[in-house]
Amino acid sequence: MREAPDPHALLKWYIEVGADEAMAEAPLDRFRAPVERAAALGGAAPTPVGRSPDRSLPPSSLPAGPRLVPAAPPGRIAPAAVAVEDTRALAAGCMDLAALRAAMESFEGSSLRETATRLVFADGNPAAPLMLIGEAPGADEDRQGKPFVGQSGQLLDRMLGAIGLDRTGVYIANVVPWRPPGNRKPTPAEISLLLPFLERHIELVAPRALLMVGAVAAGALLGTTEGITRIRGRWFDWRGIPALATYHPAYLLRQPAAKRDVWRDFLDLTKRLDSIP
């Protein structure tokens, strides 16, 4: 007979692989057959990709088809075979922020959504002259549904306060709107699939300036792989909008000496904002 696993060792292993938070009251066994899983959740049985459910068959006799994904309600895009062209078309059809948010809420093409608790769309004032782009929500953001509310967010708020800004004077979004499991970095594939949403987000807000905090934000918007230490403090042009790259507040928490550089960037940003009509 197999011995029951040591619960401490199991918990330690969960934390190491990034499963550091309970997402629901009851555990969900993702390895169980999808039909059983759907029944456990009290929902409808999933539909094999590219087939309609054959209602004449009992669920257990559904043929083993290709990868099984949850059926998408009408108007939703299911996770299978979603390409960047699909996200681009979806984003391009959003004529205001409410429409963009709704499209992202119902978008099922990113696996990040499956492990996150909720969409973290944005925070702050969309009419503000400055739009700040971060990397991805962390655990606190995932819980509250707002970007930059954890430790880095508190530091960011203090830094913005030092140049006279609070969240009524800035608008904040992230490169990816769902928390990557265990706070890992979003992968290039995850970023490129979701980038059209961010691009449309910026177009709809049309800020006077962009502040890209960290290598992921700068890399995603500028399409560069140059390190953040090389590009920090430099202005770029993002589709006609001046965009400044600076360090991420999480980096400043680890390297407080770098705050001096960011302070310089913030002063430069203030000057630039004052000079843009």
**Site residues for ligand URA per CB under 6 A:** 134-138, 141, 147-148, 150, 152-153, 174
Residue 213 corresponds to which amino acid? V
Cβ nearer to ligand URA, comparing 62 with 250? 250
Cβ nearer to ligand URA, comparing 68 with 172? 172
- Please report how close the Cβ of residue 195 comes to ligand URA at its closest, in angstroms: 15
Cβ nearer to ligand URA, comparing 70 with 265? 265
- Please report how close the Cβ of residue 150 comes to ligand URA at its closest, in angstroms: 6
Cβ nearer to ligand URA, comparing 46 with 134? 134
Tell me the residue number closest to ligand URA, measured at CB: 134
- Please report how close the Cβ of residue 211 comes to ligand URA at its closest, in angstroms: 12
Strand partners, 131: 171, 210
Check if the beta carbon of residue 159 is closer than 8 Å to that of residue 266: yes
Cβ nearer to ligand URA, comparing 68 with 173? 173
> Cα–Cα–Cα angle for 75, 119, 172, nearest 5°?
120
Burial class (CB in 10 A: 0-12, 13-18, 19+), 271: exposed
Coil, helix or strand at residue 133: strand
Beta-sheet strands, E only, within the chain: 47-48, 68-69, 123-124, 130-134, 170-174, 209-213, 235-238, 241-246
- Please report how close the Cβ of residue 173 comes to ligand URA at its closest, in angstroms: 9
- Please report how close the Cβ of residue 176 comes to ligand URA at its closest, in angstroms: 9
- Please report how close the Cβ of residue 100 comes to ligand URA at its closest, in angstroms: 17
Cβ nearer to ligand URA, comparing 38 with 132? 132
Cβ nearer to ligand URA, comparing 137 with 207? 137
How far apart are alpha carbons 235 and 211 in whole angstroms?
Answer: 9
- Please report how close the Cβ of residue 115 comes to ligand URA at its closest, in angstroms: 16
How far apart are alpha carbons 269 and 243 in whole angstroms?
Answer: 9
Coil, helix or strand at residue 90: helix
- Please report how close the Cβ of residue 147 comes to ligand URA at its closest, in angstroms: 3
Edge-to-edge strands, sheet with 209-213: 123-124, 170-174, 130-134, 209-213, 241-246, 235-238
Strands 68-69 and 47-48, by their bridges, are: antiparallel
Cβ nearer to ligand URA, comparing 37 with 201? 201
CA distances from 50 to 69, 72, 79, 196 (A): 10, 12, 12, 25
Check if the beta carbon of residue 96 is closer than 8 Å to that of residue 204: yes
